[in-house]
Amino acid sequence: MTAVSLADGIPLPMKRRGVANWVRSYLAMLRWDMTNTRLMIPILAFAQAISGAGLVLGFGLLIPSQPPLVAAYLVTGAAVVTLIMVGAAVGPQLVAQQKMEGSYDFMWSLPVPRSAAAMSWVTLNAIIAVPGMVAALVAGALRFDVSFAITPMVVPAVLITIVSGTLLGYALSHAIPKPEVTLLVSQILIFVIFGFAPIAFPAENLPSWMATTHQYLPFVHMANIIRDSLVDGIATDVAHSYLVLAIWSVVAIAVSAAVLRRRK
């Protein structure tokens, strides 16, 4: 082993760095995160699946028969809502729980690159979130006969949505010192996403100032790119949405990096 040699002969190891160290750290942290939440993952994933399917079936109760395009819009909207909800709500709740049980300091004393720990977290969120999305789509296919045309673009669309959504939630929950406040903010986020983000309804239904605001927020664009990858001819201006989300992803990564590297 290469070592820094010292006056009294006891060698100190070189600092671990580089891609191999990052990958090894990521895999080890993922093992930790998966084991840590293994009692909860099935429940959370199941809850996500139920809420995804429930949203779709709920739309069916509100408006029993819908034109195919409207049905496709609602069903894909439900899928996107369940996908975003995990990053905005479940993730922050898990971090708040760590802070409340006092294990946060231990987790942050572990010798892994912060970005590897963050990516492990994103992966965990994806595992919890994807079943909800799939359940919403299956329920949509069964209940409304929505015919999907799933393209390979579904992979980057889902990835960019989960990465930016989860990292924003993650940065938020690390930046707010009080876990009680994190939980409150997370509740407000859920309320905003569910009620006032034009995901399962067109932005034109909102007051114009709110619709304009949403052009700059990520939610409507997340819905647009995922929709585009699932159903033919339902989404427009997809390249613009990818651009907005790319910017949001960079912002999410930069904010996360700043928050995670910050020392009080």
**Which of the ranges 10-18, 150-158, 216-224, 239-247 carries the binding residues for other proteins, by CB under 8 A?**
10-18
**Which of the ranges 33-41, 42-50, 56-64, 84-92 carries the binding residues for other proteins, by CB under 8 A?**
33-41
User: How far apart, in Å, are the Cα atoms of 51 and each of 85, 86, 161, 214, 232?
Assistant: 10, 11, 18, 24, 25
Shortest separation between residue 177's beta carbon and other proteins, angstroms: 13
**Which of the ranges 3-11, 47-55, 63-71, 77-85 carries the binding residues for other proteins, by CB under 8 A?**
3-11
* Burial group, residue 12, by CB count within 10 angstroms (0-12, 13-18, 19+): exposed
Residues in 94-153 that interact with other proteins by CB under 8 A: 98, 101-103, 105-113
Residue pair 49/139 in contact (Cβ under 8 Å)? The answer is no
The token pair at 197 is 């983000």
Shortest separation between residue 246's beta carbon and other proteins, angstroms: 28
Is position 178 an interface residue for other proteins (rule: CB under 8 A)?
no
Residue pair 203/118 in contact (Cβ under 8 Å)? The answer is no
- CA 74 to CA 68: how far, in whole Å? 10
Shortest separation between residue 39's beta carbon and other proteins, angstroms: 5
- Would you tell me which residues interact with other proteins (CB under 8 A)? 4, 6-8, 10, 12-13, 15-16, 21, 24-25, 28-29, 31-32, 35-40, 98, 101-103, 105-113, 263-264
